[in-house]
Structure 1
Amino acid sequence: MKKIFVVSFFALLFTACEKDEVIDPKAYSCNFDFVDNSASHPKAQQYQAKLDEIVKKGTVGIMMSVYHPNSIQWLGASGKADISNNVPMQPCMISRMGSTIKMFTATVTMMLYDENKINLDEKIAHYLKGSYIGKIQNAETATIRQLLQHSSGIYNYIQNPKFQTASMNNLKKEWHAEDLMSYAYNQDAYFASGTDVRYSNTNYILLGILIEQIEGKPLHEVFEQRIFKAFGMTKSLFASKNPVPHNIVRGYIDLYSNFKITESTYFSGWDYYTADGGLISNPYDMSLFFQKLMNGEVVNPKLLAEMLTWKTPHEQDPDFFPIEYGLGIFKMKTPKGDVYYHSGDAIGYYANMIYITSSKSVIVYAVNSNYGKLDEWVSTKKAIENILETVW
C-alpha cells in the first residue's frame, strides 16, 4: 500500500535503462531449513495451477505460501526470478515486500509500549524533538496510536508531486528519513488528528525514528533482534543492512501498459532506510510471523486486541473492498468474509499477507513485477478475489 506513480507520468520522466546484469544463476540458490512437503498437499495441483495462470496473464514471477492450521503448509512459485539470466522463481527466494513492513513496525512499537518505554496515547512530539516536528502539520498534536492507525491526518509525502518528480528524475537515489519527510513540510493536514483515517507513509517514518531513538540502535538491528531472529524468519532482513542483496529476485515494471517490461531492481531507493518500507523477505517467513502474531505469540492477547481495534474511513475506495484501519493491520470485508491484511509495493515488486479470520488461515504472496497492465492480476480487487477464490 505504497504505490505512488501513475505509469503514464512515470514514462514521461523515465531515463534510459542500463543493460541487464549478468548474474550467475547459482547466486540465487536457496533452500528451506525444514522438509518441504508441499508436493503432498491435497490441493497442490490446484494452487500451482493458479500461480501458473497468474504468470500466463503477464506476471513475471510469483511466490506463495498457503497455511491452514489443520493441513500441510503449501509453498510454491511460478515464472522467472531473473529474465535476463533465465532463473526460475523458487518459493525460498527473497523479494522486496514494501509497506508490509508497517505491520512489523507497529508490532515493535507495541513491544516498546508493553515494556513501558512509550505511551501510545502520548503525543509523538513528546518523544521526538527534531525541527521536522514543527514543519509537519499535526505532528505536534498526533499521538503514537494515531500514527499507528493512520488517524493522525499527517500528509503523505509520497503524494507530493515534487517528490514524485525528484524520485523519477533520479531513480537510483537512496533516500533517508528527513529527505522523504521534507516533502510533507508545510503541507496541509488531511484532517484534525483522530477525526478520520487516511493512509500516510509519513506516519511510519516518524514511528521508525521513534523506535531508533528509544532503542538506541539502527532499525535493521532492532528488526533483526526483535522480529527476525526471535521468530525464526531466517530469510528476512531490513533493507538498510543490505539495500540490494545479490540474490534478491529482479524487479520489473510494465512501463507503457503494453506488457513490454523493464527491469527496475535498483529503482526503490526510498524503501531502504525508513520504517514505512524496507522489508526484504519471502512468503514463508511472512506467513510464519503472521501466524504467530494472530496466535498471541508475538505480543500478548491484550495488545493484539488493541492492534485489532478498528476505525472506518469516512470515504471508501469504490474500486476496492471496504476496509477498516487497525494498528499496523487492516480489515478487509470480502464476499466470503473478513480478512486481516497488509500489502506493500515498490517499483517492480508487490506483496500481500492475508489472514482469514474464519479459518485462521494465512496466505502470503509476492511478485516481482507490477504497474501498468500487470496490476490487474497482482494488486487489484479482482486479483485478490482470484487468489482467495482458490485458497479460501
Structure 2
Amino acid sequence: MSALPLACAALVFAASCGDGADESSPSPTAPTAEALADDLQAALVRVQEEVGFPGVVARVVTPDLEWTGAAGTIGADRSEAPGPDDHTRIGSITKTMTVTALLQLAEDGALSLDDPIGRYVPGLPNGDVATLRQLASMVSGIPSYTFDEEFQQRLFADPEASWTPDQLLDFVRGDAPNFAPGERFEYSNTNTIALGLVVEQVSGQSLHDYLRANVFEPLGMADTVLPTDAAIASPHLYGITEQGQPDGETADATGWNPSWGWSAGAVISTVDDLELWGRALGTGVGVLSPETQELRLDSFLFDVPGATDTRAYGLGLGIEDGWLGHTGELPGYNTYVGYLPELEAVVVAAVNTDIPTAVGKEPVSVVADELKRLVGESS
C-alpha cells in the first residue's frame, strides 16, 4: 500500500499608460504583459503534458497583468476543462488560515503566542513547554499523528469516515516528544490541529464559523469554507490519488472525508478566492493589523536546522526565494498560493492529483516553479 506523505501538505519554501499618452496608443507595457501571458499558458500546457496529471488551473496577477490559464481536464475520466471557479481541496494552505485566526486573537489580547499549548489542550508531548508560537512555526517537537501506522491503516480502510480533532490528537498523546521545543523545524499536522482547538476555545465559536466571519467574508472569499462533512460544492475538480492503494493502482478521492485534516488541511476554495487570499496573506490587508503582519513576516526561522538562507518557515507561512506562501496536499489534490512583495505578484495553481512526479516532486510545485520563474524573468 502506498504510504501517506506529509499528509495535508508538503511545504514550498511551499499596465498603465504614462501621463498625456494618446488613448488610442497601446500601453508601453502591454506587449510585455501579452508575451508573459503567452509564456505562462505555454508553460502550463507543457508541464501538464510532461508530468501527466489530469488537469491544472492557475492564475498570475501583477500590477501589469491578470492572467488565468488551464490545461487538461477537471478529472481523469472527464472532458471538461478546469476553471478558476472550480472548487478544490486546498490541503495545508488551511494552516495559513488557522494561524491567521490565532494571530487575530493574539492581536485582540485574547491570548498570548507565548502561552504553552497545555494551557488549552491537555496531554500533548511537550505540552507544558511548547508555546503557541512554536506550534505555529513547526518547531514544537510534537509528533505528527499522520505518521502513526494505526492512523494510516484506519484512514485508508474507511476514507469516508469522520474524525474529531481529539481523536486525531489521541494518536500522539502519551508519546515522547521528537525534540525539545525550538531545537529544529519539523512539519507536524498535530500542531495546527491543536491550534484549531485553541481558536475555538478562546473565541467561543466553531472554527468553521470563526474563519467564515473573520477571514473569508472580510476578504470576499464567498466560495471558501472549512467543511463540516465530505461534500464539495459544484463545479469542482475530481481528485485522483495513489495513497492507500495497491501499487500501481489509483482511486478517485473526490468524496473522501477531509475531517482528518481539519484545521490543518480541510478547507475547500477556488483559484478565484485563493488569489484574494494570496494577497491578504502576503500583505495582511483585510485580516491583520500592519503591526501583526510585520510580526508574522519577521517570524521566519532561518537559523534552525531544516531551514536555509533562502527557505524557512514562520507563523503558519513559508518563504522561498522571497515568495511568501504555502502548498497544500490532500489525497487527490495539490494546490499552491504565493505572493512576492517586491513585484506585488500573486501566483495560484491547483492540480487535481497528489501523485508525485517521476523524481518525487509535488506536481503543483513543478507548475508553481515555472510560473514564478517566468514572473521573475519578466520584471
TM above 0.5, yes or no, is: yes
1:289 aligned residue: 277
Measured after TM superposition, the shift of residue 214 of structure 1 is: 1.6
**How has the CA–CA distance of structure 1 residues 332 and 371 changed in structure 2, closer, same or farther, with 3 Å as cutoff?**
same
Residues in 2 aligned to 1:344 and 1:175: alpha-carbon distance in whole angstroms: 20
Residues in 2 aligned to 1:42 and 1:268: alpha-carbon distance in whole angstroms: 42
Kept after mapping to 2: 8 A contact 1:259/1:373:
no
2:183 aligned residue: 195
Measured after TM superposition, the shift of residue 292 of structure 1 is: 2.7
Which of 49, 54, 62 aligns to 1:60? It is 54
Kept after mapping to 2: 8 A contact 1:5/1:164:
yes
Which of 216, 222, 247 aligns to 2:204? It is 216
**How has the CA–CA distance of structure 1 residues 47 and 328 changed in structure 2, closer, same or farther, with 3 Å as cutoff?**
same
1:344 aligned residue: 328
* Alignment coverage as a number of residue pairs: 345
1:378 aligned residue: 363
Residues in 2 aligned to 1:236 and 1:164: alpha-carbon distance in whole angstroms: 27
Per-residue CA deviations over 1:232-268 (Å, capped at 9, x if unaligned) read: 1122111226643343311012568998753221235
Secondary structure in 1 matching 2:210: helix
1:300 aligned residue: 289
Per-residue CA deviations over 1:108-145 (Å, capped at 9, x if unaligned) read: 111111111111111122234xxxx22x2112221111
Kept after mapping to 2: 8 A contact 1:64/1:91:
yes
**How has the CA–CA distance of structure 1 residues 46 and 191 changed in structure 2, closer, same or farther, with 3 Å as cutoff?**
same
Secondary structure in 2 matching 1:77: strand
Residues in 1 aligned to 2:284 and 2:159: alpha-carbon distance in whole angstroms: 40
Question: Which segment is superposed worse, 76-85 or 190-199?
Answer: 76-85
**How has the CA–CA distance of structure 1 residues 257 and 168 changed in structure 2, closer, same or farther, with 3 Å as cutoff?**
closer
Residues in 1 aligned to 2:95 and 2:258: alpha-carbon distance in whole angstroms: 17
Kept after mapping to 1: 8 A contact 2:193/2:263:
yes
Measured after TM superposition, the shift of residue 278 of structure 1 is: 1.2
1:238 aligned residue: 226
Kept after mapping to 2: 8 A contact 1:198/1:313:
no
Kept after mapping to 1: 8 A contact 2:89/2:333:
yes
**How has the CA–CA distance of structure 1 residues 387 and 254 changed in structure 2, closer, same or farther, with 3 Å as cutoff?**
farther
Residues in 2 aligned to 1:257 and 1:91: alpha-carbon distance in whole angstroms: 33
**How has the CA–CA distance of structure 1 residues 315 and 155 changed in structure 2, closer, same or farther, with 3 Å as cutoff?**
same
TM-score, normalization by structure 1? 0.80
Residues in 2 aligned to 1:271 and 1:363: alpha-carbon distance in whole angstroms: 28
TM-score, normalization by structure 2? 0.82
Kept after mapping to 1: 8 A contact 2:282/2:340:
no
1:248 aligned residue: 236
Q: CA RMSD in A?
A: 2.8
Measured after TM superposition, the shift of residue 4 of structure 1 is: 6.3
1:31 aligned residue: none
Kept after mapping to 1: 8 A contact 2:229/2:259:
no
Kept after mapping to 1: 8 A contact 2:282/2:341:
no
Instruction: Output aligned runs, 1:15-54, within 5 Å.
Output: 41-54=34-47
Q: Structure 1 counterpart of 2:189, which letter?
A: N
**How has the CA–CA distance of structure 1 residues 259 and 94 changed in structure 2, closer, same or farther, with 3 Å as cutoff?**
farther
Secondary structure in 2 matching 1:233: coil
Instruction: Output aligned runs, 1:80-229, within 5 Å.
Output: 80-128=73-121, 133-134=122-123, 136-229=124-217
Measured after TM superposition, the shift of residue 96 of structure 1 is: 0.4
1:26 aligned residue: none
2:4 aligned residue: 5
Kept after mapping to 2: 8 A contact 1:180/1:270:
no
Residues in 1 aligned to 2:249 and 2:374: alpha-carbon distance in whole angstroms: 28
In structure 1, stretches of 5+ residues that fail to align are: 8-39
**How has the CA–CA distance of structure 1 residues 355 and 251 changed in structure 2, closer, same or farther, with 3 Å as cutoff?**
same
Measured after TM superposition, the shift of residue 389 of structure 1 is: 2.2
Give the percent of matched residue pairs that are identical in Structure 1 and Structure 2: 24
1:359 aligned residue: 343
